[in-house]
Structure 1
């Protein structure tokens, strides 16, 4: 299984393919991987999500870390293990779900919105924590306050409303990665659009990285 921390260090972006159908998923995944993405998530409120995840794992499991988003129940974690996926993403801070994922050998990337939730997720063994919904924050500077108390070894990743144009504000505030939703992929869009959006995000990250040198 691909290592979550290593992949995030290379390109700290999780591609969220919400609403994708099994017959579409491989084409969009190829476009994302070709652009440089290596962590792909299919939310479980998509059509036949486990079928899409299994197809991705079989086709691209040697190139990318594949997992599910919007995980809510332990039996969904068990299904991910059954089909060979490696990542559990949830929108909330459910410590038992996080512990179940970790005990099952999955990487856990739960959501949080408060400092209390962040520490609870960390204590449960989360590999990174996603600030969700990030667009609900009045300013990326809120992340600065969270980063002041959360250990720097913990990767905080805004999810929701992230675009190539606002990534730098989040990074300046202390974020260390992103989950990318509708600005990257919207249900029904073409593979060409996914490719174009993916390249824009990668170019944006490269510009941020170069400016930091």
Structure 2
């Protein structure tokens, strides 16, 4: 299972989200069938947004933070009740802090060396980032040598138009940023984008 909630393996990356937008946008995503939500720490007051979404939806969705770079940030995120830590890089100290806190660790990797280092440190899933540089063919080569049970999330350059190509190459999940949310997008806009992506995801799995 690549989504611990049992739903689609799509992580909504809400970079730039404000606390005022947090609940309307999260509500729209979850209604559309996206139950993995990440608020990057370089967003405005990210802990406030994460805490609000966790309080409202943490019982049926997996909520967490992205762009997590230090163990101290892991501790601060854990205090909100969130359960997911996503990083752009592979830092064994961040992975260890995440696992010590009982949270899920999704570090960023770009090479087999980084991927195996992340798994050795205890990562629960791997975030192939930046995906547009590696491409589906690069992912296919990496997937051939990685343990089959490891969830691989393609992040960067993934859209409804190419999701099937990524899936065929071995991606078991996707991190979606601007194709789902751009700063200032209304909940209605996010709902429309999410509906298109969910349809593409279901088709890719079909």
Q: For 2:187 and 2:98, locate their aligned partners in 1 and report how far apart those are by CA, in whole Å.
A: 31
Tell me how far 1:206 sits from its aligned partner.
1.2
TM-score normalised to the size of structure 2? 0.97
| 2:161 counterpart residue number | 165
The answer to whether structure 1 residue 6 and structure 2 residue 7 are counterparts is no
| 1:91 counterpart residue number | 88
The answer to whether structure 1 residue 35 and structure 2 residue 32 are counterparts is yes
- SS of the residue 1:202 aligns to: helix
Query: Contact (CA 8 Å) 2:4, 2:62: kept in 1 or not?
Result: no
The Cα offsets for residues 68-99 of structure 1, whole Å up to 9 and x where unpaired, read as 00001111100111111100000000011101
The answer to whether structure 1 residue 131 and structure 2 residue 128 are counterparts is yes
Q: For 1:168 and 1:24, locate their aligned partners in 2 and report how far apart those are by CA, in whole Å.
A: 31
The answer to whether structure 1 residue 143 and structure 2 residue 171 are counterparts is no
Q: For 2:159 and 2:189, locate their aligned partners in 1 and report how far apart those are by CA, in whole Å.
A: 15
| 1:191 counterpart residue number | 187
Q: For 2:132 and 2:145, locate their aligned partners in 1 and report how far apart those are by CA, in whole Å.
A: 21
Q: For 2:58 and 2:7, locate their aligned partners in 1 and report how far apart those are by CA, in whole Å.
A: 17
Q: How many pairs does the alignment contain?
A: 206
- SS of the residue 2:171 aligns to: coil
Q: For 2:141 and 2:198, locate their aligned partners in 1 and report how far apart those are by CA, in whole Å.
A: 27
Q: For 2:116 and 2:151, locate their aligned partners in 1 and report how far apart those are by CA, in whole Å.
A: 12
**Of 48, 51, 56, which residue of structure 2 is paired with 1:54?**
51
Q: For 1:4 and 1:99, locate their aligned partners in 2 and report how far apart those are by CA, in whole Å.
A: 21
**Of 157, 172, 176, which residue of structure 1 is paired with 2:172?**
176
- SS of the residue 2:11 aligns to: strand
Query: Contact (CA 8 Å) 1:95, 1:121: kept in 2 or not?
Result: yes
